[in-house]
Amino acid sequence: MEQFRLPKIPMPTLTLPQSIQDVLKEAEEKLAHRPKLLQLFKNTFPNTLETTTKLMDDGTTFVITGDIPAMWLRDSVEQVMHYVPFSKNDPELQRVLSGLIKRHMNYIHIDPYANAFNESANDWHWNTDDETDMSPWVWERKFEIDSLCFSIRLAYAYWKETGLTDVFDSGFKAAMLKIVELFKTEQYHFERSPYRFTRDNGIPEDSLRNNGLGMPVNYTGMVWSGFRSSDDACDFHYNIPGNMFAVVALRHMQEFAEWIFRDMTLLADLKKLEAEIDHGIKLYGIYRHPEFGPIYAYETDGFGNYCLMDDAGTPGLMSIPYLGYVTADDPIYQNTRRFALSKENPFYFEGKMAKGIGSPHTPANYIWHMALSMQGITASSAEEKLEMIAMLESTDADTGFMHEGFHADDPKVFTRSWFAWSNSLFSQLVYKAMKEGIL
């Protein structure tokens, strides 16, 4: 069984937009008293633009994830989200962001079930023998509900920041309709879905059981998802953070329908779908924990079975307020957060050098830098934010960059030295703390 993974492909170096250069100058002044943190920020904040971004001749933007030469819908958005607040008066940055939105819409038209795409129809794939309906454009076809939500997240943030509507053409609206129809189909996965996925590589988390259909589910109103944001298969296929993200995406699409496309029929349809998914979350997605009280489950099947854990990837339970589903002071979220940061979460680890959330995607006792960054971003207190920044600063293994997972006892043992999403999320936390004046 061949796994097709190419060596690193150097991307064209972009001249940093002026607004991004200005942020780096600001950091040199405000972080001068912390030279290592300053250097980390100067490395990580522009990393996506400097190493993973390519402006295409058709006006779109292609963003690889880092050490893999493909573009994940989810990763590419999170790689650039920290740039959006600086885009209002910067045409160069607008070109990067609007081009990425346009490319997302193109990809959704090609295959709304795929999670990662090629730069061209070159027929490169993560695994050459996946049993699913592949396309030459598709690098990997793991259906993850969050992928589509991230596409909407970027478009909404870009619109709200710049006020520009150039990306909202007929192709964008058609892509929206594809998303809505897919969500409706996957509310009834076993009855209506054409999607199947198996990968015979000996890794159970890489394949869906039951001949590629996944394990049985009950109707809940929520949307079925094959895989998590870690690209690992779901245990129970209603992923709660993913469905929360779908609710937020549908709310964003309602604003598009009402204020941009002036389509009241679509608006009503979006509201109905949002209500169905949200009702399912509230009815099936809350678990009464004997220690923490009511918490949001990570997954359920609608039959009363729950997966109680949190994963370092976004969307996860820690990132619920970051996604915009509820605020950080929501009582159930607070209970859930305490659970996620306890040993009741099977992927929470404590070691000599760090403590935090890891993932079944990496070995036991590996904590993810992204999880620490997200914990800081969603923290209510300055003390917790500073604790996370200090932990991140001390676990870079003197590489000057963030990684995927690192061993809790020895940060020099880590996975993925070039992982742009992790760099972006870290720099987002540092800039947030810098603007709050707590550093």
Residue 301 has pLDDT above 60, yes or no: yes
**For position 305, what pLDDT does the model report?**
98
18-436: CATH number = 1.50.10.10
Nearest C-alpha neighbor of 63 from the set 53, 77, 74: 53
Find all residues with CB under 8 Å of 78, minimum gap 6, and list them.
150, 314, 421, 424, 425
CB 99 within 8 A of CB 61: yes
Q: b/e per residue, 247-263, with b = 16+ CB within 10 A?
A: bbbbbbbbebbeeebeb
Q: 13-22, 76-85, 134-143, 217-226: which range is least confident on average?
A: 13-22
DSSP state for residue 103 in the 8-state scheme: H
What are the CA-CA distances from residue 426 to residues 9, 50, 82, 183, 405 (Å)? 24, 16, 10, 32, 14
Q: What is the pLDDT of residue 3?
A: 38
- Domain extents in the chain: 18-436
Q: Are 95 and 74 in contact (CB under 8 A)?
A: no
- Say what the pLDDT of residue 78 is: 98
Q: For residue 256, what pLDDT is reported?
A: 98
Average pLDDT rounded to a whole number, residues 305-310: 98
For residue 78, give the DSSP letter. Answer: H
pLDDT of residue 202: 85
- Nearby residues of 117 by Cβ (< 8 Å), 6 or more positions away: 70, 71, 73, 107, 110, 137, 138, 139
Q: What is the pLDDT of residues 364-405, one digit of tens each?
A: 999 999 999 999 999 999 999 999 999 999 999 999 999 999
Evaluate if residue 62 carries a pLDDT over 70: yes
pLDDT interval class at 4 (50, 70, 90): very low
Whole-prediction pTM: 0.96
Q: How far is CA 176 from CA 173, 253, 268, in A?
A: 5, 8, 14
Q: Strands across the sheet with 299-300, in order?
A: 238-239, 299-300, 306-307
At residue 6, the pLDDT reads 45
Q: What does pLDDT average to over the chain?
A: 96
- The beta strand positions in 131-176, using DSSP E, are 138-140
Number of H helices, E strands in the chain: 15, 15
* Averaged pLDDT, 192-213: 95
* Dist. CA 402–CA 423, nearest whole Å: 5
